[in-house]
């Protein structure tokens, strides 16, 4: 009688452990998928929807920054609200991609027109005064490494 009770308890514990492992694995896979989707598609503009701000430095003067504090750039080959940075270009000069339903705000005193365009891949890229905006992949918050690298790329100005 005692052995049946012990076997029943052991089996119940094993079943419970299997269920926990299955649930943890499912949760881990869901989290990884969500992270991968966010990293490759659109950026969620946090909190107050502050999409554009500005920063200043003695070297570069005043320039626009994105929601994450990183400098923004424009590409001279873009015109008429069209983005021509695609493929390999877009892996180094990352389009500032947002959701089309975002309510986008700028830090005062920025007064230019904030809008977006639809890229050839269907994503929505933020524009400022008609110019598509990009991040340089090797910049970090408050560092400006992309300025002056290539003649066609300029810091975005308010």
Distance CA(134)–CA(84), nearest Å, equals: 11
Return d(Cα 89, Cα 85) in angstroms, integer: 5
**pLDDT at residue 134, as a whole number:** 97
Q: Which residues of the chain have pLDDT under 50?
A: 17-18, 20-42, 44, 46-47
What's residue 152's pLDDT?
93
Q: What is the pLDDT of residue 39?
A: 29
Measured CA to CA, the distance from residue 108 to residue 53 in angstroms comes to: 8
Closest listed residue to residue 89, CA positions, set 101, 71, 77, 104: 77
Q: Phi/psi of residue 8, each to 5°?
A: -65, -45
Every domain of the chain and the residues it spans: 1-40, 50-155
pLDDT score, position 150: 87
Identify the pLDDT of residue 118: 92
**In angstroms, rounded to a whole number, what is the distance separating the alpha carbons of residues 121 and 119?**
5
Whether 52 contacts 134, CB under 8 Å:
no
Tell me if 84 sits within 8 A of 75, measured CB to CB: yes
Number of Cβ within 10 Å of residue 49's Cβ equals: 14
Q: Give the pLDDT of residue 45.
A: 54
Give which of 67, 42, 44, 65 is closest to 125, Cα–Cα: 42
């Amino acid at each position: 009688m005692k052995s049946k009770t012990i076997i029943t308890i052991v089996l119940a514990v094993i079943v419970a452990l299997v269920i926990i492992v299955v649930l943890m694995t499912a949760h881990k896979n869901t989290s990884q998928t969500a992270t991968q989707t966010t990293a490759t598609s659109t950026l969620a503009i946090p909190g107050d929807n502050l999409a554009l701000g500005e920063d200043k430095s003695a070297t570069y003067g005043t320039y626009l920054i994105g929601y994450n504090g990183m400098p923004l750039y424009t590409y001279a080959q873009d015109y008429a609200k069209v983005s021509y940075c695609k493929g390999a270009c877009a892996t180094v000069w990352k389009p500032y991609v947002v959701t089309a339903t975002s309510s986008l705000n700028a830090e005062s005193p920025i007064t230019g027109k904030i809008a977006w365009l639809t890229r050839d891949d269907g994503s929505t890229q933020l524009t400022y005064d008609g110019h598509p905006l990009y991040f340089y992949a090797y910049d970090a918050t408050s560092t400006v490494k992309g300025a002056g690298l290539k003649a066609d790329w300029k810091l975005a100005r308010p």
